[in-house]
Amino acid sequence: MKIPVKAGAMILCLCAAAGILFAVHNRQPEPESVQTAKPVYGFVDMETVVKAHPRYSEYFQLETEYNHMLDSYKSEQQHFISIATNQEKINRAIQSEAVAQADKDEYMSRVKVKEDELNRNLQNLYKKISDSHKTQQVATGTLTGLSEADSNELANLQLRLTVLDLSSKEKAETMQRIGQLLNSRYESGDKESMQGWSKEEIEQMTSAKAKAMTELDTYAKSVAEEIKNRKTPSKVNTQAGVTGLPDADKWNAAWEKKIKAKQAQMAALKSDMMNDIRKDAAKVAQKKGLKMIFTRCVANVSGEDVTGDLVNTLISDSYWEVSYK
């Protein structure tokens, strides 16, 4: 709803159409001696006239109530805006944290699938070489040699390196730690499991493990980069909504109804007051023989100030109206 403008001073409301209060048309010209003897135009100080109206205090009360109503409307509106803004900040923080966790889970899941695939290939190669020897060894030559804690750390470091804008020092420290964790994979294979193998077979197995490590590392980086550059973030239902707010349409409609009702009261009273002033201005003009009564001075036109006469007439008419009720 468009916020209404506050009501100004009484005179601005009641005298916006300041001009001619009373005019006589087609009046017979008076003798020249009469025309020069007295003015034919009158002027009034409209502010004084309006304040003298018996119902001026009633209008002032309505205006005060109207302005207070607008203050309450705007204050309540700002309060709800503040609640909504704070709740939105909370929702964004919750959403950000939830999305980060979802991205991490996705990263670890996809890298684990790739790691299992590479391990199966390495185990097949190990079995093939081992079967060519008389002694069957336990196949431990795989990439999986990290504890769950180390695996989580490696995943966090890979995401941190790819997603965050790190300084040169932070990047170097992160890369160093990633290297330590990756190297531990090479050491995870049991060297004794390759006893009796030829030099070429050991080199073949070692080379396959190194190649698998490089492939896994490249894949992990590509997954992290994909998650970082994804245009549509992971959708996570945080079930966080804005609470403590009314329905906006109903709230605005209720306020609009109250404000328009008060405006209608003011308009009706304003109309009644101006009608009273015009009627009494006509009486003053008739009594004084004036052709027109202006609510402001007009250039190059001389006239009589009849403010006091109009005020007295308003008060007098009001007195008799009250007496005969």
Q: Comparing 155 with 48, which gets the higher pLDDT?
A: 48
Residue in the structure block whose two tokens are 């790691």? 115
pLDDT in tens, 221-274: 888 888 778 755 544 444 445 556 788 889 889 999 999 999 999 999 999 999
Q: Span 298-316, mean pLDDT?
A: 83
Query: What does the pLDDT read at residue 12?
Result: 38
pLDDT in tens, 142-154: 555 566 677 777 7
CA dihedral 134→139→142→145, nearest 10 degrees, is -140
Backbone angles phi, psi at 38, to 5 degrees: -145, 155
Confidence of residue 139 (pLDDT cuts 50, 70, 90): very low
**202/228 Cα distance (integer angstroms):** 39
**211/217 Cα distance (integer angstroms):** 10
Domain boundaries, the chain: 10-80+247-323, 83-229
Residue 283: closest CA among 254, 320, 312, 321? 312
Query: What does the pLDDT read at residue 121?
Result: 87
pTM greater than 0.85: no
Residue 269: closest CA among 6, 48, 21, 10? 10
| Residues linked to residue 292 through DSSP beta bridges, in sequence order | 23, 41
**150/180 Cα distance (integer angstroms):** 10
Total residue count of the chain as it appears in this document: 325
DSSP 162-225: HHS---HHHHHHHHHHHHHHHHHHHHHS-GGGGTT--HHHHHHHHHHHHHHHHHHHHHHHHHHH
Residue 45: closest CA among 314, 310, 264, 322? 310
Six token digits for residue 178: 């990633």
- As a whole number, the mean pLDDT across the chain is 75
Q: Comparing 300 with 100, which gets the higher pLDDT?
A: 100
